[in-house]
Amino acid sequence: MADRKSYYVTTPIYYVNDSPHIGHAYTSLACDALARFMRLDGYDVHFLTGTDEHGQKVEKSAELAGKDPLAFTDEVSQRFRLLAEAMNFSNDDFIRTTERRHIESCQELWRRLKERGQIYLGSYSGWYAVRDEAFYQEDELETRPDGKKVSKASGAEVAWVEEPSYFFQLSEWQQPLLDHYARNPDFIGPDSRRNEVISFVKSGLKDLSVSRTTFKWGVPVPDDADHIMYVWLDALTNYITAVGFPDTEQEKYIKFWPADLHMVGKDILRFHAVYWPAFLMAAGLEPPRRVFAHGWWTNEGQKISKSLGNVIDPHDLIARYGRDQVRYFLLREVPFGNDGDFSHRGMVQRMNGDLANGIGNLAQRVLSMINKNCDAKVPVHGVLTEADLKLLGSAHGLLPAVRPLMTAQQFHKALETIWQVVTEADRYVDEQAPWALKKTDPARMGTVLYVLAETIRHVALLVQPFMPESGAKILDQLEVHGDDRSFAAFGPEHALESGTYLPKPEGVFPRFLEEPAA
């Protein structure tokens, strides 16, 4: 399937019991950069995000807000749509689990599992955390000084629950899951998370309670109105709903399923890498190709929490630093998959170092010299020297170098690789000194500026998935338009044409200046 030209990437669907924060923006941003990259690389992409709107936690949050659950979810879901607009995400669909298409999809998946003998009626008694919408075993809990039991992993309080319940025969899927992980070593990323999941599955899987009777805000179980579906069986199904399930014969499903990548936070990896493939295989459907779990952010070294009042609002970041600057920082600052710390100082260093002094300064210097010394036209180049060919070779080699890093979700390394060429181009400017060549060898000056303009073109093409508006502004100033902005335009065959008029250059990345203290 190496020549497959479709790509399906999903964010987790976000739980609507609160407003979106930096964690939501981070996950969706990674998916957006990947979706944009794949589109530019010639793939037909389906990029999905949305909101998870059922469950006891939502019912309680709506009650506390004095609202009907649907009215409450309408309002909070809209905040996630607004975040997608504010961050300039390019999602192709936004799914809500309260939609009719999704409810029908969930119920059909349930029927298929039931028909295959994978679901049975029993009764559940055990520990349940409403905050996590998750069941916990005794050894996964600890007792706080106040006597309350909480999850060791999340700190969420648990309560003892006893009720009739349908169960999914998860225990039967222990070995098939381990076989699947062995056959597909890239199924879970990064490797540290893969090892955690394998260890969890090897320790033994118990059948999973997949229905509830103590509240009503959820998808009704087919043929048993007393039960609603466990919120995770409901939520995970969104990924197939969005490509047309239960109609598995339609073009969209055939083209995009199985998904190429489910991007998730590390706290929900188990649901995606254990329960979800087990549900799918049990229903006779293919599991996704890959699940990648990223880390969490702290704020100036502190854990982010509402009680500390240090939750980071992405809208505030955009207003203060700029949209593309925030996008760049989040994907460049931390090895993707690790935890990271958001700091004002770190943000300013990236803005002024990598962006203003880096790509911004390079583009401004070179295009200003072309504007001033080459009649505002792409210069004519003469015979290329070894130094010219070396820099152009680095620029031409960027795409094959960055491609595998993107498919491995190593966004920080992809950006690092692009910036190595920016650094190389800066060094080349200093060594070739085109301002001096203007007097001594104007023809050579034209060649040097041409090589630099071509290098900037290649860098700008690859900057587009990460910083769409800034990449577009640089390409505008090089008069690169339309299909010439796709990755098919990489290489010398699509080089800038000498004699093309270029507009007066404008700075793309202003320096961040601290406001003076009052």
Confidence at 1, pLDDT banded by 50, 70, 90: very low
Residues in the chain: 518
DSSP 339-393: -EEE-HHHHHHIIIIIIIIIIIHHHHHHHHHHHHHSTTBPPP--S--HHHHHHHH
Between 295 and 483, residue with greater pLDDT:
483
Q: Which residue has the higher pLDDT, 311 or 429?
A: 429
**Averaged pLDDT, 428-444:** 96
Q: What is the pLDDT of residues 366-375, one digit of tens each?
A: 999 999 999 9
Q: Which residue has the tokens 């010398």?
A: 492
DSSP codes, 164-211: EEEEE-GGGGHHHHHHHHHH-TTSEESHHHHHHHHHHHHT----EE-E
pLDDT in tens, 110-127: 999 999 999 999 988 889
- Decide if 51 contacts 97 (C-beta within 8 A): yes
| Cα–Cα distance measured from residue 304 to residue 508, given in angstroms and rounded to the nearest whole number | 32
Instruction: Give dist(CA 415, CA 466) in Å, integer.
Output: 9
Domains detected in the chain: 6-295 (3.40.50.620), 344-494 (1.10.730.10)
pLDDT digit string (tens) for 63-75? Answer: 999 999 999 999 9
pLDDT in the model for residue 328: 98
Instruction: Indicate the burial class of 42 (C-beta count within 10 angstroms; 0-12, 13-18, 19 or more).
Output: exposed
Assess contact for 470 and 324: CB atoms under 8 A. Answer: yes
Q: Specify the pLDDT at position 238.
A: 98
For residues 395 and 137, give the distance between their C-alpha atoms in angstroms, rounded to a whole number.
54
Mean pLDDT within 494-506: 97
- The encoded tokens of residue 466 equal 């990460």
Average pLDDT, the chain: 94
Separation CA 326–CA 181 (nearest Å): 35
Q: Which amino acid is at 245?
A: F
Give the whole-angstrom CA distance, residue 140 versus residue 142. 7
pLDDT of residue 344: 93
**For the chain, percent of residues with pLDDT exceeding 90:** 82
Range 9-29 average pLDDT: 89
Read off the pLDDT of residues 229-280 as tens digits, 9 standing for 90 and up.
Answer: 998 999 999 999 999 999 999 999 999 999 999 999 999 999 999 999 999 9
Q: What is the pLDDT of residue 431?
A: 97
Find, among 393, 392, 105, 415, the residue nearest to 233 by Cα: 105
439, 376 in Cβ contact below 8 A?
A: no
Count of alpha carbons within 13 angstroms of residue 37, beta-carbon side: 23
Say what the pLDDT of residue 518 is.
Answer: 52
Q: Please, are residues 96 and 34 in contact by the beta-carbon 8 Å criterion?
A: no
**Residue 245 · residue 105 · CB < 8 Å:** yes
Structure tokens at 289: 């190709």
Which residues are CB-neighbours of 227 under 8 A, at least 6 positions away? 164, 165, 166, 211, 212, 213, 220, 221
Of the candidate ranges 84-98, 219-233, 328-342, 471-485, the one whose mean pLDDT is the lowest = 328-342
* Segment holding 14, helix H or strand E: strand 14-15
In this prediction, residue 340 carries a pLDDT of 86
pLDDT tens digits, one per residue of 45-89: 999 999 999 988 889 889 999 999 999 999 989 999 999 999 999
- H/E stretch holding 454 reads helix 442-463
Classify strands 261-265 and 291-294 as parallel, antiparallel or unpaired: parallel
Give per-residue pLDDT as tens, 291-306: 999 988 888 877 766 6
Residue of 209, 262, 257 lying closest to 409 (CA atoms): 262
pLDDT score recorded for residue 162: 86
Give dist(CA 502, CA 319) in Å, integer.
Answer: 31
The pLDDT of residue 2 is 44
Q: Are 41 and 80 in contact (CB under 8 A)?
A: no
Contact between residue 483 and residue 469 where contact means Cβ atoms under 8 Å apart: no
**pLDDT at 135 (0 to 100):** 82
**Exposure b/e, 67-102, CB count within 10 A at least 16 = b:** eebeebbbebbebbbebbebbbbebeebbbbbeeeb
